[in-house]
Every structure is written in structure tokens, then in C-alpha cells.
Amino acid sequence: MANPSLLILAGDGIGPEVMVEVRKIIDWLGARRGLVFDVSEDLVGGCAYDAHGTPLADATMARAQEVDAVLLGAVGGPKYDALDFSVKPERGLLRLRKEMDLYANLRPAQCFAALADFSSLKREIVEGLDIMIVRELTSGVYFGEPRGIFTEGNERVGINTQRYTESEIARVARSAFELARRRSNRVCSMEKANVMESGILWREVVQKVHDEEYPEVELSHMYADAGAMQLTRRPKQFDVIVTDNLFGDLLSDLAAMLTGSLGMLPSASLGAPMANGRPKAMYEPVHGSAPDIAGQGKANPIACILSFAMALRYSFDQGAEADRLERAIETVLADGLRTADLMGPEGGSPISTGAMGDAILGALDASL
Ligand code: IPM
Ligand code: MG
């Protein structure tokens, strides 16, 4: 059988430097675990615009459709702020999500014991936190038509459309219920059914999928604003949260901060199964390109490495290797090693991006 294939799109800002550390892990798996990947690399975002005048070349898009999984770093930077909207770095990312039809975005928010004091909330509120936000990723207000800036009378009007079909809601609801079955068996669905028709439909469809296909999973519904409040008040009440594209964008940043650092959070974006049975998939850290610290060796590579752990688990059926990698990260954190983003108010001496990657490799070696 051919080796599984990976396309690395490191992107802009800190993307390339955190991806170097992921490459170390990939090489380690090949050398020490006999798990060899065929890795190719290409451009996305601002660097792709610089090279090709577009944030995602058609050839790159085609390659992304062929491989078993895409690993993405981050896109964007101040250099590209003035670009026309249609060629902004983010458009490259959104094109990948849309054309690969990656409708289920899994964003786990887990609080590592060693980092519980980094949260802006009290230790007892976040310690042991383990929630999974399932964000719908290919529809809603991010893609709905009509959209644009139009002229109406003597002024301009900006329009975006929140639009969800029943099938779009049902398929992401199924992803959430399937995940819940393998976790604590609870799903909370969030929308704004009190003000939005799309929210009313969302609630109805999620309830119907539940009643017909997953009656044994505990389902609750919450308005997304109340959900934001509950996430900060008592986050451990949640197991799986399923929500739309825009609310999911907001709530996942909020959940990220509960865990202490955006530099720690991975994500998986999954679509329908391909011919080989693997889901269409892209893995990326939740953090952005952080242009303010790019190129200085300050970035935390853990979110990107944990995203690769999710690839091992969800694309390559290598749950044991994913566990090993996650445990290696826990060990390194428990040993007190910290990148600059993980320095508390009391300070300390941070290690570099590369040193963090090497420490994780050391913990992997020690695990054998
Ligand atoms: C995210 C990001 C993206 C989004 C941006 C970069 C387009 O914030 O993945 O959460 O809004 O989806
Ligand atoms: Mg976001």
C-alpha cells in the first residue's frame, strides 16, 4: 500500500516556523515508528499571493483534493491588509474549506493541568476542562448570498446573508452526535432561535436528527449569547457544543482563552469520506499568523503539533501514536518548559520554538 500523503501549506507569519517543528515529528514517526508519510509542500495565503497573484493557486487546490490530509499553518499579515478583498490571504483558507467541503470543524478546548494557572479564569473552573466545539465551516454567513457592498439611494449598504439548508445542519449535527458517543455523550446546540429564522431551523433539525438517529445522546439547546456566558461561568458543564460558522468562530476563541493560550489549540476540519474511506481533511492550529512575533523563534509550536496529532487520530487511524504525542507534550509542560506565550505574570525564561519541538522529540524518544 502507498504511504499516506500529506500536503503542508505553512502559509504566513509564524506558520512556517511552527510547521518546521511538525516536520520533526513527521520525520521521527518515519524513523522510529515505521510510519512514513509522502509529504509535499506548497503555498497558501500572502506568500501564495506574492508568488502567483492569488492566495491559493488552482494547482495547489487540485493537490489538496488529492492528498489524504492537508496541514495548514496560518495565513495573513499587515503586508496584505490593503489588498482587494477577493485576493486577501484569508480567501485562500476559505476556498480550501469550501471546495474540499470541510463542513465539520472540530475545535477541542482542553486545559493541560500544568497550565491551569494561565487561564484568565480561576483554576478550579478550568482544571480538567475537556470540551469539543463542532463548528459548521462551509456555510452560514461566511458564504451566504447575496453578499457585498451596494449603493442604496445616497449611501452604501454592506450585506451578508445567514443561510442554512436542512441537510447542511443535519450533517454537522451527525458529526457532533458521533463525537459525543465516543466522549461523555452530551451535545449542546447553540444558535439564536429567538431572533433568527436560520436559528429556528437549526434547532428543529438538530432535534430531529437526535430523535431519529441518536436518542441515547443527551441533547440540550442554548442561545449562543447565553452559551458564551455559560462557557465563562461554568465551562465544565459542556461536552460537545455544535454551532454555526460565525458563532463557532467566536465561541471557539472564547473557549481557547479558557485553556490559557491560543498557542495550544489544534483543530480538524473534516468532510465526507473519500474513496479510500478517509474523510476529506485539513488540520490547522486555531491561532493566526501572529506577524508581531514572526521570525523570532518565539512562537509556540504546540497547537500545530496537536493538530498533527488530530490528523493521526482522525485521518490515519493512529490513535495510539496520537496519544503518545499528546502525552509527550504533557510531559514537556509538566517539566516546566514554556514558550513565550506561556509566561505567567511572574515571568521566567521562555524557550524557543525550536527548543520546544526538540523537547517534545526528547519526550517521544523517552516513551519508547
Ligand atoms: C478561524 C479564523 C478564520 C475564520 C479567518 C482567518 C478567516 O478566525 O479559523 O477561526 O474566521 O474562520
Ligand atoms: Mg477565528
Q: Is residue 265 in contact with ligand 1, taking CB distance under 6 Å?
A: no
Q: Which ligand is nearest to the CA of 266?
A: 1
241 lies in the same domain as 275 = no
Give the Å distance between the CA of 142 and the centre of ligand 1.
10
CA 288 to ligand 1: nearest atom = 6
Quick one: cell of 107?
475545535
Q: Does pLDDT of 218 surpass 80?
A: yes
Q: Which letter, b or e, does each residue of 241-279 get, where b requires 16 or more Cβ atoms within 10 Å of its Cβ?
A: bbbbbbbbbebbeebbbbbbbbbbbbbbbbbeeeeeebb
Q: Once rounded to an integer, what is the mean pLDDT over residues 246-275? A: 91
Q: Does pLDDT of 362 surpass 80?
A: yes
| pLDDT reported for residue 343 | 84
Q: Is residue 93 in contact with ligand 1, taking CB distance under 6 Å?
A: yes
CA 245 to ligand 1: nearest atom = 12
How far are the Cα atoms of 103, 136, 168, 282, 312 from residue 172, in angstroms, in the given order?
Answer: 7, 6, 7, 16, 21
Instruction: Specify whether 68 is catalytic.
Output: no
Q: How confident is the model at residue 261 (pLDDT cuts 50, 70, 90)?
A: confident
Of 216, 238, 257, the domain-final residue: 257
Collapsed DSSP state (helix, strand, coil) of residue 248: helix
Sole residue written with cell 449598504: 157
Q: How confident is the model at residue 161 (pLDDT cuts 50, 70, 90)?
A: very high
CA 90 to ligand 1: nearest atom = 7
Quick one: cell of 109?
478546548
Collapsed DSSP state (helix, strand, coil) of residue 336: coil
Q: Which ligand is nearest to the CA of 94?
A: 1
Instruction: Say if 307 falls within a structural domain.
Output: yes
| pLDDT reported for residue 91 | 97
67 lies in the same domain as 134 = no
Give the Å distance between the CA of 250 and the centre of ligand 1.
9
228 lies in the same domain as 320 = no
State pLDDT tens for residues 79-91: 999 999 999 999 9
Q: Does pLDDT of 136 surpass 90?
A: yes
| Residue tagged active-site, from 101, 130, 225, 358 | 225
Q: What is the C-alpha to C-alpha distance for residues 10 and 291, in angstroms, rounded to an integer?
A: 14
Q: Which residues pair with 158 in a beta bridge?
A: 149
Q: Is residue 169 in contact with ligand 1, taking CB distance under 6 Å?
A: no
Q: Is the dihedral of CA 307, 309, 312, 313 positive or negative?
A: negative
Cβ contacts of 350-353, under 8 Å, gap ≥ 24: 350/298, 352/297, 352/298, 353/14, 353/17, 353/18, 353/20, 353/21, 353/297, 353/298, 353/299, 353/300, 353/301
Q: Is residue 254 in contact with ligand 1, taking CB distance under 6 Å?
A: no
Q: Does pLDDT of 115 surpass 90?
A: no
Q: How confident is the model at residue 117 (pLDDT cuts 50, 70, 90)?
A: confident
| pLDDT reported for residue 153 | 97
| pLDDT reported for residue 259 | 86
| pLDDT reported for residue 279 | 96
Please tell me what DSSP assigns to residue 138: S
Q: Is residue 12 in contact with ligand 1, taking CB distance under 6 Å?
A: no
Sole residue written with cell 437549526: 202
Give the Å distance between the CA of 75 and the centre of ligand 1.
10
Of 215, 238, 257, the domain-final residue: 257
Q: How confident is the model at residue 347 (pLDDT cuts 50, 70, 90)?
A: confident
172 lies in the same domain as 194 = yes
Instruction: Specify whether 103 is catalytic.
Output: no
| pLDDT reported for residue 156 | 98
Nearest residue by C-alpha to atom 6 in ligand 1: 90
- Residue 175 CA, distance from chain mean position: 15
80 lies in the same domain as 150 = no
φ, ψ (nearest 5 deg) of residue 89: -50, -40
Collapsed DSSP state (helix, strand, coil) of residue 235: helix
**Angle formed at CA 342 by CA 337 and CA 346, multiple of 5 degrees:** 95
Q: Are 364 and 325 in contact (CB under 8 A)?
A: yes
DSSP of 199-258: HHHHHHHHHHHHHHH-TTSEEEEEEHHHHHHHHHH-GGG-SEEEE-HHHHHHHHHHHHHH
Q: Does an H or E element contain 339, and which? A: none
**Which of these ranges, 93-102, 196-205, 225-234, 345-354, has the smallest mean pLDDT?**
345-354
341 lies in the same domain as 275 = yes
Instruction: Specify whether 142 is catalytic.
Output: yes
Instruction: Specify whether 225 is catalytic.
Output: yes
253 lies in the same domain as 297 = no
Instruction: List the domain range (segments joined by +) for residue 236.
Output: 130-257
Instruction: Say if 67 falls within a structural domain.
Output: yes
Q: For the chain, first and last CA: distance in Å?
A: 26
Give the Å distance between the CA of 253 and the centre of ligand 2.
6
Give the Å distance between the CA of 249 and the centre of ligand 1.
7
Q: Does pLDDT of 113 surpass 90?
A: no
Q: What is the C-alpha to C-alpha distance for residues 201 and 80, in angstroms, rounded to an integer?
A: 38
DSSP of 150-187: EEETTEEEEEEE----HHHHHHHHHHHHHHHHTTTSEE
The enclosing domain of 219 has a CATH number of: 3.40.718.10
Q: Which ligand is nearest to the CA of 140?
A: 1
Q: Are 287 and 116 in contact (CB under 8 A)?
A: no
Instruction: Say if 120 falls within a structural domain.
Output: no
Give me the number of domains the chain comprises: 2
Q: Does pLDDT of 78 surpass 90?
A: yes
313 lies in the same domain as 340 = yes
Instruction: Say if 118 falls within a structural domain.
Output: no
Q: Does pLDDT of 65 surpass 90?
A: yes
Quick one: cell of 82?
490593503
State pLDDT tens for residues 180-192: 999 999 999 999 9
Closest CA relative to residue 26, chosen from 63, 59, 62, 69: 69
Burial class (CB in 10 A: 0-12, 13-18, 19+), 63: middle
Q: Is residue 141 in contact with ligand 1, taking CB distance under 6 Å?
A: no
Closest CA relative to residue 251, chosen from 241, 236, 238: 241
Q: Does pLDDT of 345 surpass 80?
A: no
Give the Å distance between the CA of 155 and the centre of ligand 2.
30
State pLDDT tens for residues 315-342: 999 999 999 999 999 999 999 999 998 8
63 lies in the same domain as 102 = yes
State pLDDT tens for residues 1-42: 789 999 999 999 999 999 999 999 999 999 999 999 999 999
253 lies in the same domain as 269 = no
CA 249 to ligand 1: nearest atom = 10
